[in-house]
């Protein structure tokens, strides 16, 4: 018998970890019961020899268990039963056959590892009346006994109300009379079954409803704001605890079928007191499917609340309804939202911008602002395809901007390109998108009833004359010059007229700066990321490259003429050698080499020993590929600077480098290397960029770095 007990115990303890466990749940509290009524059968094996053969020992009892409500793992119990000692009917042995009628009180401890498995210990004590019916032939004899018991309880629960257990234990019997023949310890192995009163918390009729949805408010949701909703709420929801006790471990999530990959976490609360309400923001991580809707789509989302109520896990779900607007819609409660419609990653725009740059590549100036040139090219490219301004008849910008609750529509750049018409917001978004596609930094300006573009020229604010002779024609922002463009004038006016109109519109609110705003595209897109688009060919017609290039060339020349004319007027008016040198440098920068040479020579007529125009004449000759004339000028400059004792200046280092370049182009590599090494001893940093100048006679000709008005040295005037 002991071996059998040990095998059963080992088996159950090995299997115990297999039963499902959830550390977040208190199974003892969750599946506690009010009352249990059970029956138990045990076989008995005495530890001592009673001196009499018995062919059956058993204990049959009934028990009543009453768990402590606040500590369900502890339960007192009452037990009543009989213990039978039955002897064989031979050799007068039957006289020792007897029966104990007993009652006992006890205390038990039982811990649930899962709903279906529990392990515990029990201890009890009581009294019994032992009756010996055959000990005295004349009458039955009896004796009072003390009875004590302790043991394990290993239970499997096929259902909430039913429990089946194995009960190995040890009993001790002690007679309160001289009839103490059967005093001592007895071990037993028993099986019991019990019925537990109460309702299964997992039953449908026992579902917990501790949470009430007090209120939900979700205004229209806009697909274009998909990225914004990740960190900002689409609405609010208020929940309340309707119980008379606190609930714990509350997790709230939001899910929209078809437009989310998984539920979005709303909040986690440690506890919610009885009757307490809490108002929560609802974030929403929508997937790319929101961009595929058209018009207005009514949706019903789901708020899920999971929590622990008195140790029992529960989940409640509530439906919330709202409208989803497609990716062209927005409200003007935050002007930065426009950034979501600026789509520089659109392959259709990348292809179009490449076409534009190819159309104008033969007319661009290396020394002129690349951003400003690109702005002109985009302006005239849109003119070439017939893109024009047209007020939205259903929702004019002038009306929509003034009403933050009115739903407006902005066309995506690819759609405006196909339709070739757009409101001021549509054209601003299109222009900025194309500029951003090629890496130009843009922004948008809003004033009452209007929005238009502005972009960064990349030119330092102090150098405004390199962009336009009139300082008021540019905006100084962050130390750089920005150019506003009245984009609605595409197709009807020139770029310079659109530029001037844009600056006038901006200056109109100088005395009312709060009525205008300037929003940088990339900064705004940190909050409102561009809408998602599917890659597809739009089948666009880009127009004539020749027309785009010609219009750009004429406008660029017009602007350069104005810039050079301004420098020329200053030089003529002052008749100052330094001003003529400045005129020559700006003319050379913009590839007006004839005007540059004329200006440098004019400076030399005012002062034949003036070093700067001598150097600069050589640089112009170099750019014109007149290398021998360039050498004469540079050698003259070399002679003059040494005569003045300025051989240690950076200017002298640059003269040596320019001379080296001339010899290199004349294929006199020995002299080129000689002058380059002399320059290198004064500035070792030149080695990496100009190492090709150190070529020997026998080595192959190196790759000449592209020299331009920006890379060849010009002697500037010091301010």
Same domain for 31 and 179, yes or no, is: yes
Same domain, residue pair 50 and 186: yes
The answer to whether position 685 is within a domain reads yes
Where is the domain boundary, 325, 340, 357? 325
Which residue, 442, 563, 571, 558, is CA-closest to 497?
Answer: 558
Asked whether residue 304 falls in the same domain as residue 359, the answer is no
Q: Is the domain of 285 the same as that of 262?
A: yes
Is the residue at 121 inside a domain?
yes
pLDDT tens sequence across 512-527: 999 999 999 999 999 9
Beta bridge partners of 170: 150, 187
pLDDT in tens, 647-696: 889 999 999 999 999 999 999 999 999 999 999 999 999 888 888 888 76
Domain of 169: which CATH number? Answer: 2.40.160.20
Task: Indicate whether 343 and 247 sit together in one domain.
Answer: no
Residue 554 to residues 163, 496, 546, 561, 589: CA-CA distances in angstroms?
Answer: 96, 11, 12, 10, 18
Within a domain: 125: yes
Q: What is the CATH number of the domain that holds 700?
A: 1.25.40.10
Residue 260 has pLDDT above 70, yes or no: yes
Q: Which of the listed residues 197, 219, 243 is the one where a domain comes to its end?
A: 197
Inter-CA distances, 706 with 317, 578, 654, 655, Å: 68, 29, 17, 18
Which of 197, 230, 247 terminates a domain? The answer is 197
Are residues 368 and 291 part of one domain?
Answer: no
Residue 628 lies in a domain: yes
Phi and psi at residue 377, to the nearest 5°: -60, -45
- Identify whether 417 is part of a domain: yes
Query: Domain check: are 507 and 647 in the same one?
Result: no
The predicted-structure confidence for 10-42, as pLDDT tens digits, reads as follows 454 444 444 444 445 678 887 888 899 999 999
The model carries a pTM of 0.70
Query: By C-alpha distance, which of 225, 245, 243 is closest to 235?
Result: 225
- 213 with 183, same domain: the answer is no
The CATH number for 213's domain is: 2.60.40.2550
Residue 495 falls inside a structural domain: yes
Residues 336 and 453 in one domain: yes
Q: What are 35-71's pLDDT values in tens digits?
A: 999 999 999 888 887 777 777 788 999 999 999 888 8
Do 186 and 211 belong together in one domain? Answer: no
| CB contact at 8 A, 149 and 124 | yes
Q: How far apart are CA 180 and CA 183, in angstroms?
A: 5
Please indicate, yes or no, if residue 150 is contained in any of the structural domains: yes
**Residue 679, number of CB atoms within 10 A of its CB:** 23
- Strand, coil or helix: what is 544? coil
Rounded distance between C-alpha atoms, residue 497 and residue 563, angstroms = 16
Strand 421-422 with 388-389, pairing: parallel
**Are 319 and 340 members of one domain?**
no
In a domain, 575, yes or no: no
DSSP 262-278: SPEEEEEEEEE-TT-EE
C-alpha to C-alpha distance for 118 and 30, rounded to whole angstroms: 13
Residue 349 predicted with pLDDT over 60: yes
Show the domain range for 377: 331-529+541-547
Both 304 and 176 in one domain: the answer is: no
Number of separate domains in the chain: 4
């Amino acid at each position: 018998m002991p071996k059998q007990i040990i095998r059963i115990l080992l088996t159950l303890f090995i299997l115990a970890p297999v039963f499902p466990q959830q550390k977040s749940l208190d199974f003892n509290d969750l599946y506690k019961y009010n009352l249990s009524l059970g029956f138990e059968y045990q076989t008995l094996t005495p530890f001592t020899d009673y001196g009499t053969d018995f062919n059956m020992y058993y204990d049959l009892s009934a028990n009543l268990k009453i768990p402590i409500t606040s500590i369900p793992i502890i339960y007192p119990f009452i037990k009543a039963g009989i213990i039978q000692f039955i002897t064989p009917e031979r050799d007068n042995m039957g006289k020792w056959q007897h029966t104990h009628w007993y009652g006992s009180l006890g205390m038990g401890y039982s811990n649930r590892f899962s709903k279906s498995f529990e392990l515990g210990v029990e201890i009890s004590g009581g009294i019994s009346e032992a009756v010996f019916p055959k000990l005295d032939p004349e009458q039955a004899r009896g004796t009072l006994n003390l009875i004590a018991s302790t043991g394990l309880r290993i239970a499997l629960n096929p259902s909430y109300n039913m429990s089946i257990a194995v009960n190995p234990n040890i009993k001790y019997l002690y007679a309160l009379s001289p009839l103490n023949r059967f005093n001592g310890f007895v071990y037993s192995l028993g099986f019991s079954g019990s019925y537990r009163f109460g309702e299964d918390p997992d039953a449908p009729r026992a579902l917990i409803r501790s949470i009430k949805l007090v209120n939900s408010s979700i205004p229209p949701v806009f697909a274009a704001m998909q990225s914004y909703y990740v960190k900002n709420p689409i609405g609010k929801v208020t929940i309340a605890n309707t119980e008379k006790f606190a609930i714990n471990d509350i997790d709230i999530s939001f899910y929209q079928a078809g437009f989310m990959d998984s539920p979005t976490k709303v909040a986690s609360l440690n506890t919610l007191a009885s009757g307490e309400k809490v108002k929560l923001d609802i974030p929403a991580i929508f997937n790319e499917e929101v961009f595929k809707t058209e018009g207005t789509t009514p949706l019903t989302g789901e708020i899920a609340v999971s929590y622990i109520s008195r140790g029992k896990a529960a989940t409640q779900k509530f439906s919330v309804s709202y409208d989803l607007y497609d990716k062209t819609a927005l409200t003007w409660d935050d002007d930065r939202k426009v950034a979501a419609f600026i789509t520089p990653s659109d392959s259709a725009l990348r292809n179009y911008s490449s076409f534009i740059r190819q159309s104008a590549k033969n007319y661009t100036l290396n020394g002129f602002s690349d951003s400003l040139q690109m702005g002109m090219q985009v302006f005239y490219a849109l003119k070439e395809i017939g893109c024009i301004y047209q007020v939205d008849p259903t929702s004019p910008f002038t009306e929509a901007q003034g009403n933050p609750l009115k739903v407006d529509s902005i066309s995506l750049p690819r759609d405006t390109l196909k339709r070739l018409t757009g409101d001021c917001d549509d054209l601003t978004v299109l222009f900025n998108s194309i500029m951003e596609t090629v890496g130009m930094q843009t922004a948008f300006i809003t004033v009452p009833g209007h929005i238009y573009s502005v972009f960064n020229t990349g030119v330092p604010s102090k150098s405004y004359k390199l962009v336009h002779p009139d300082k008021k024609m540019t905006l100084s922002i962050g130390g750089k010059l920005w150019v506003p463009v009245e984009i609605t004038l595409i197709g009807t006016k020139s770029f310079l007229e659109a530029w001037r109109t844009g600056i006038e519109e901006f200056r109109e609110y100088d005395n009312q700066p709060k009525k205008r705003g300037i929003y940088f595209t990339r900064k705004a897109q940190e909050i409102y990321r561009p809408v998602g688009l599917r890659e597809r060919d739009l089948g666009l017609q880009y127009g004539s490259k020749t027309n785009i290039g010609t219009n750009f060339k004429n406008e660029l020349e017009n602007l350069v003429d104005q810039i050079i004319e301004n420098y020329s007027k200053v030089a003529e008016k002052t008749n100052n050698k330094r001003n003529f040198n400045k005129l020559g440098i700006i003319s050379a920068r913009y590839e007006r080499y004839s005007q540059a040479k004329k200006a440098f020579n004019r400076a030399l007529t005012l002062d034949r020993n003036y070093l700067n125009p001598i150097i600069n004449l050589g640089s112009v000759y170099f750019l014109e590929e007149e290398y021998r004339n360039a050498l004469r000028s540079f050698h003259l400059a070399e002679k003059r600077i040494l005569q003045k004792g300025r051989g240690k200046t950076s200017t002298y280092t640059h003269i040596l480098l320019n001379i080296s370049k001339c010899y290199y182009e004349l294929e006199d590599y020995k002299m080129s290397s000689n002058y380059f090494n002399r320059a290198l001893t004064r500035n070792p940093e030149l080695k990496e960029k100009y190492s090709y100048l150190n070529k020997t006679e026998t080595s192959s000709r190196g790759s000449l770095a592209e020299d331009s008005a920006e890379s060849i040295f010009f002697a500037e005037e010091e301010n």
